[in-house]
Amino acid sequence: MTSTEASPADTASVFQLFARPVLPATLMLGGGVTLYAVETYIMATIAPSIVRDIGGLPLLFWVTTLYVAAAVLGSIFVAMRPRGTGLRTVYVAGAVMFAAGSLICGLAPSMPVVLVGRAVQGFGAGALAALSYAFIRFVYPEPLWRKASTLYAAIWGVSTLLGPSLGGLFSDGSDWRHAFMLIVPVGVIMALLGPLLLPAATDDRAAGKTPVPQIALLIAAVILVSLAGTVEATRTKALLIGASIIAAGLMLAIEKRSENRLLPTGAVTLGNPLARVYLIIFTLMLVLTSDIYIPYFLQTLHGITPLESGYLTALVALGWTLAAFFSGTLSGRRARRAIVAGCVLETIAAASLAVFLARDNQGGSLAILSPAVAGMFLMGFGVGMAWAHLITKILRIVEKAEQDKASAAITTVQSLGSAFGAALAGVIVNSTGLVTPGGIEGGVSAAHWLFALMALPGILTVVASLSIRASGDQAEARQAAA
C-alpha cells in the first residue's frame, strides 16, 4: 500500500457503529460502559445525602473503595470465567449483578447494607466495562475497532459531567434511593436483551488455571490505595500507598514467573510494547485524576461559586470527549502521532495548572482564570487524543487466545491509575499547605505542588509513547501475518 492510498481504517466512520447490523450490539456495549461510568460519579454526589439520612459516616470511605475493588474483580472475571462460558453469559450475569446491587443499595436501611450493595454493583459494573472491549473483535470488523474504542472513551468523558448532574437531582432527603432504584430496570432489560442482541463469542482462550495469588495481591493493592485516598493523616496515606505499591510489585513479580498468568504475555516486561501501552494508560489516568481538587482551588483561589466550578471542571471531560471523536478519524502513522501528541499535551496542560490555577485571584479576573480553564480543557483533550489508539494497539498486538485477558486488563489498569492518582494527589496537597497553613496561602502552595508533581509522571507517558511507535508497528505486523 502506498502512502497515498487510504486504508479501510481511514475510510471507516464512527457513524458506522450505528449502522443497522451492529447498532444493537453498540447500544448494549455502550450501555454497559455508561452504567459503570455514570454510577461512579453519581455516588460521589449523593454520598453525603446517604450519611445524613441513614448515618454511617465512619464507613463512608468503603462506599467507593468496595466499588472499585469489586469492579476490578469483575473485570478479571471476564478473562478468568469458567471454561466454556460465553461472553454473552457473562454479560447477562454482569447486568443482573449490577441491577441486584442497585436494588440492595436503594432498599438499604443502614450503611453496612449499602456497602454490600456497592460490592455487588461494582462486580457487575466491572464485568460490563471489560466486556465492551472483549466484544469488539466479535462485533465489528477490524477497521471499526478504533471507532468503537473512541465511542467508549467519549462515554467516559460525558459521564464525568452527566453523573454529578444526575446525582444532584437526588441529593435531598431520602431521594438518593431513587438514584439506585431507577437503574434496576435498566440492568434487568440489559440482561434480557443481551442474549438476543449480542453475537455469540467463541471461547478461544488458552487453557490455564486461575492465578489466585496475583488476583489476591491486585485486589489488596486496590483496597490499600483506595483507603489511602480517604485518610486525612499524610503519614498514614503514604504508608498505605507504599503498602499498595509493594502488593502491586509482588503481583508483577509473581506474574512474570508464573505459568498461570493474570495478564497477557509480555504485559509485565517493559521491553515488550504491550507493557508500555498499559503503562501509558495507567499513567494517563493517574495524572488526569489530579482534577479532583480543581473545584476546590477554583472556589478558594479564584472566587468561583460551587456551581460554576462544577461546570468549569467539566471542561476536562469535554476535552476528552471532543478529542476522542477528532482523533478517532486518524489511523496509521497519524494515529501513532496522536498517542505521542496526547501524552505531551496532557503533561504540558497539567504543568500549566501549577502556574495558572495556583494564583490568588479572589476578584475572579478572567485574564488570570482563562489560561487555567484552557489548561483544564487541554488536559482532558490530551487523554482523548491517545485513548482509542492505545486500546486498538492492545487488541492488535495480543494473540487471539489472550484477547479476553487483554480486554479485562484495560479496565483494571484504568481503575488502578485512577485510584493511585487520587491517593497520590491527597498526599501531595496535604503535605504542601492545603490544611496547614490552609486558606489562600496554603491553597496556592498546594495547587502549585500538586500539578507540578503530577506532571512528572506525564513525562513517563511521553517517553513510553515514543518508544512504542516502531516496536509496536513490528508487533502488529507479526500479529497481522499470523
SS3 162: helix
Q: For residues 350 and 345, what is the distance between their CA atoms, to the nearest angstrom?
A: 8
Which stretch, 138-147, 252-261, 364-373, 378-387, has highest mean pLDDT?
378-387
CATH number for position 401: 1.20.1250.20
What pTM, to 2 d.p., does this model score?
A: 0.83
Confidence of residue 6 (pLDDT cuts 50, 70, 90): very low
User: 470 in a domain, yes or no?
Assistant: yes
Tell me the per-residue pLDDT of 433-454, one tens digit each, with 9 for 90 and over: 988 888 899 999 999 999 999 9
- ω into residue 109 within 30 of 0, thus cis? no
189 and 310 share one domain? no
Q: What residues have CB less than 8 Å from 89, skipping those under 6 apart?
A: none
Query: Quick check: 28 and 194 in contact, CB under 8 A?
Result: yes
pLDDT given at position 214: 92
User: 11 in a domain, yes or no?
Assistant: no
The half-sphere exposure of 399 on its side-chain side, counting CA atoms within 13 A, is: 10
User: 29 in a domain, yes or no?
Assistant: yes
Average pLDDT over residues 352-366: 91
176 and 287 share one domain? no
57 and 173 share one domain? yes
Other CB atoms within a 10 A radius of the CB of residue 358 amount to 21
Please choose, from the candidates 340, 362, 370, the residue with its C-alpha nearest in 3D space to the C-alpha of residue 461. Answer: 340
482 and 405 share one domain? yes
310 and 166 share one domain? no
pLDDT given at position 91: 95
User: 228 in a domain, yes or no?
Assistant: no
Domain assignment of residue 399, given as a range = 266-482
344 and 478 share one domain? yes
282 and 179 share one domain? no
Confidence of residue 399 (pLDDT cuts 50, 70, 90): confident
122 and 271 share one domain? no
User: 130 in a domain, yes or no?
Assistant: yes
Nine-digit cell at 233? 493523616
User: 218 in a domain, yes or no?
Assistant: no
- When divided into structural domains, the chain yields a total of 2
SS3 468: helix
pLDDT given at position 479: 46
Q: Is the pLDDT of residue 1 over 50?
A: no
Where are the strands (E) in 241-337, listed by range? none
325 and 463 share one domain? yes
pLDDT given at position 3: 36
Q: What is the mean pLDDT of the chain?
A: 86
Tell me the per-residue pLDDT of 9-63, one tens digit each, with 9 for 90 and over: 555 667 788 888 889 999 999 888 888 888 877 887 788 788 889 998 778 778 8
Average pLDDT over residues 475-481: 47
342 and 457 share one domain? yes
User: 423 in a domain, yes or no?
Assistant: yes
166 and 287 share one domain? no
Other CB atoms within a 10 A radius of the CB of residue 27 amount to 16
User: 257 in a domain, yes or no?
Assistant: no
Q: For residues 338 and 386, what is the distance between their CA atoms, to the nearest angstrom?
A: 6
194 and 277 share one domain? no
SS3 32: helix
Confidence of residue 482 (pLDDT cuts 50, 70, 90): very low
